Amino acid sequence: MIYSYEYFSLEQIASDKFERNHDLYLGKSATRYDLLIIRDPFNLFASRLKISSKAAHFLSVNSPNKTMIDLWIDYAKEYLGETNYLKHNKVCVNYNQWFTDVEYRRNIADKLQMEFSDVGINKVAGQGGGSSFEGKEFDGKATSMDVLNRWKKVADNPQYKQFFNQEILKYSERIFGHIPGTESLIN
């Protein structure tokens, strides 16, 4: 079973309160994994901005006093090992690498003690209406979507540009390397 805490801070997820209620809400597990999937901020925020035009709550998060930007930076710090909130067999996934590299996906499956299969790699999930840019249009051919260049479609949007600063750029480059052209988004 996979349960997503996508819009929550790591402090909340790792809190004593969450831990006390884990088995009550999710059941007991023989082995628990904390799976942290991080997408580069440029494409993540582009997708969030695109979907926010349909539902304003996609720019908000479920963490008091935190913004979407704060959460991304917190997740980046956890990914890089600067923090260590996640204690249950933490597996960190670089979404960009996962999307492009079958051997990386195979390695993730090994870490999760799962039999590897790429069945479903071309499926577009229906939750939330599918892709924020194409909906379900690419269902059956999801790897054909240009998910690593979404940011280019909104790069001139002033609301989008306000999401970026030097700290975001620094953490993005440490995790994803330089993404050509994104430096133009930093004021």
Model pLDDT, residue 56: 47
Q: Residue 3 domain-assigned?
A: no
The 10s digit of each residue's pLDDT in 64-120 is 778 889 999 999 999 999 999 999 999 999 999 999 999 999 999 999 999 999 988
User: Contact, 67 vs 78, CB < 8 A?
Assistant: no
* Residue 137 belongs to some domain of the structure: no
The answer to whether residue 171 sits within a structural domain is yes
Query: How many residues comprise the chain?
Result: 187
Cβ(118)–Cβ(62) below 8 Å? no
Please compute Rg for the chain using Cα positions: 17
Q: Is residue 160 part of a domain?
A: yes
Residue 170 lies in a domain: yes
Coil, strand or helix: which one is 105?
Answer: helix
Rounded Cα gap, residues 41 and 171, in angstroms:
9
pLDDT value of position 58: 45
Q: Given a cut of 90, is residue 139 above it in pLDDT?
A: no
- The two structure tokens encoding residue 90: 């933490």
Our count of domains for the chain comes to: 1
pTM (2 d.p.): 0.87
Distances (CA, A) of 84 to 29, 38, 42, 56: 21, 15, 24, 31
In sequence order, the β-bridge partners of residue 184 are: none
pLDDT tens-digit profile of 20-65? Answer: 888 888 888 889 899 999 999 999 999 888 876 554 444 556 667 7
The helix or strand, by DSSP H or E, that contains position 140, with its residue range, turns out to be none
96: containing domain: 10-44+62-121+143-185
Exposed, middle or buried: residue 97 (CB in 10 Å: 0-12, 13-18, 19+)?
Answer: middle
